[in-house]
Amino acid sequence: MMGSQLNLFHRTLKYLLLNISLFLLTFLQPLSLSAAPPNNTNASEQNVADTSLWEHYSLFSIVRALAFDGTTLWVGTANGLLRYDLSSGTQQVYTAKDGLLSNIIHTLTIAPNGDVWVGTIGGGLSRLHKGKWLTYTPYGAGSTASYGKDWQAYTMGKGLGDLWVYGIHFDPSGTMWVATWKGVSVFDGKAFHTYTTEDGLIDKWVYTISQDRKGNFWFGTEAGVSRFNGKTWRSWDNKDGVGANIAMNTPDMAKGLPFTPKHHAGDHKPLSYNPNYIVSSVIDLNDHLWVGTLGAGLSHFDGKNWRSYSDQDGLTGNMVHALKFDSKGILWIGTDGGVSRFDGKTFSNLTKKDGIGAVFSIEIDHQGHKWFGSFGGVSQYRGQ
């Protein structure tokens, strides 16, 4: 067999094995939380954290989204949505069998009226309303269980921007804003209007939405940050100070992928550490913006100047997947290396010695306990 044919054979075999593995993960593994011992990968390491502050729950999936509704924890995974009642311990799982169009959940939020909204990879936006799932796509909306009389077809330009949904935000008026791979879609309760690069977005691949108290919307994209005040747009990227200037390498998670998104295949947006690639954001008590990048650390914008932090400053990792402020103004940062706690001056870190690996989502319950979504489960941290 010729070298090129052999390489093609190996790539094809690798692709088939990966898809078989995904099939087994998705369909043969039960989706449920169960208590697990701390995952201290180096038991002999000194200064191991107090395990009484932790509760680890194993889950055979990556957890990219968490949300609380009272004592109910909603967990968004690559295998569906899990509802976990902390008071009773009861659990309920929702998948495509129950009305979701895709089981791969990237974001979720609780609407002002109590409905649960989830953004999926390839399956659009889904809403749990009075026990029934309704799905919103670029083409139409309704129940995907039957595509029956309740299915509403959208006219051109009135549907959701894209089937890939990465962020959901409700503004003070209750209007929903949705981050998609083709812009930001705004839902008026019946149809969508989508803002794109033609309107002023710096890039159409949008991952995160935050809103400050002045009413400005901040959108994190693959090319930087855009601000929209309802009328005008302004954008910033690494040339303006977004992202730490560190070595640009390919992340381990991007190596050997059997499939690379088309827009990452060329030299324009390679899958390398990218200071302009914004994947998380939050507004602090001073109404300032914080953004997490895919490999260039954490950046803070005070309205005039940007300041960035990386592992060289004490951050656990430079891939910042999640940001959350607690009631005391402490910033909790989920990275590829664990969790960092930032008080405005110094970082303190939770890592593998604490039983926590890469963290993709963070939520805080009514008692102030922190919950971290990771690859393989959810961890509760009761420390300050």
- For residue range 200-219, what is the model confidence (pLDDT) as tens digits? 999 999 999 999 999 999 99
Whole-number pLDDT of residue 316: 97
- For residue 34, the model assigns a pLDDT of 72
Q: Would you state the pLDDT for residue 266? A: 54
Could you count the other beta carbons within 10 Å of the beta carbon of residue 107? Answer: 25
What pLDDT, on a 0 to 100 scale, did the predictor assign at position 26?
Answer: 42
Under a CB-based contact definition with an 8 Å cutoff, are residues 224 and 238 in contact? Answer: yes
Tokens 């959901």 locate to: 168
* pTM of structure: 0.85
131-155, pLDDT tens digit by residue?
999 999 999 999 986 777 789 999 9
Nearest C-alpha neighbor of 26 from the set 77, 64, 75 = 77
In one-letter notation, the amino acid at residue 57 is: Y
Q: How far apart are CA 143 and CA 132, in angstroms?
A: 8
Assign a CATH topology to domain 35-381.
Methylamine Dehydrogenase; Chain H (2.130.10)
> Do 314 and 340 touch, CB atoms closer than 8 A?
yes
The amino acid present at 200, given as its one-letter code, is: G
> Residues of 219-247 as b/e, b for ≥16 C-beta within 10 angstroms?
bbbbbbbbbbeeeebebbbbeebbbbebe
Give residue-wise pLDDT tens across range 44-91. Answer: 444 445 668 999 999 889 999 999 999 999 999 999 999 999 999 999
Residue 291 CA to residue 304 CA, distance in Å, equals: 15
Question: Residues 319, 324, 326, 330: what is their CA dihedral angle, to the nearest 10 degrees?
Answer: 30
Residues 6+ away with beta carbon under 8 Å from 148? 142
Q: What average pLDDT does this structure show over 222-247?
A: 95
Diameter of the chain by CA atoms?
Answer: 65
pLDDT at 9: 33
What's the CA gap between 301 and 262, in Å, rounded?
31
Angle at 85 between CA 329 and CA 40, to 5 degrees: 65
282 or 269, which is more confident? 282
Rounded distance, CA 31 to CA 82, Å? Answer: 7
The larger pLDDT score, comparing residue 165 to residue 384, is at: 165
Q: What is the pLDDT of residue 52?
A: 85
Least confident of 143-157, 255-269, 306-320: 255-269
Q: Which residues pair with 322 in a beta bridge?
A: 334
> Sorting pLDDT into bands at 50, 70 and 90, what band is 4?
very low
Round to whole Å and give the CA distance between 374 and 102.
20
In this structure, what DSSP letter does residue 265 have? S
More confident position, 301 or 52: 301
Q: Can you name the residues that pair with 9 across neighbouring β-strands?
A: none
The span from the CA of 287 to the CA of 291, in Å, is 13
Mean pLDDT over each residue of the chain, to the nearest integer: 86
- Between strands 359-364 and 370-381, the pairing is antiparallel
Question: CA-CA distance, 218 to 143, in Å (whole number)?
Answer: 32
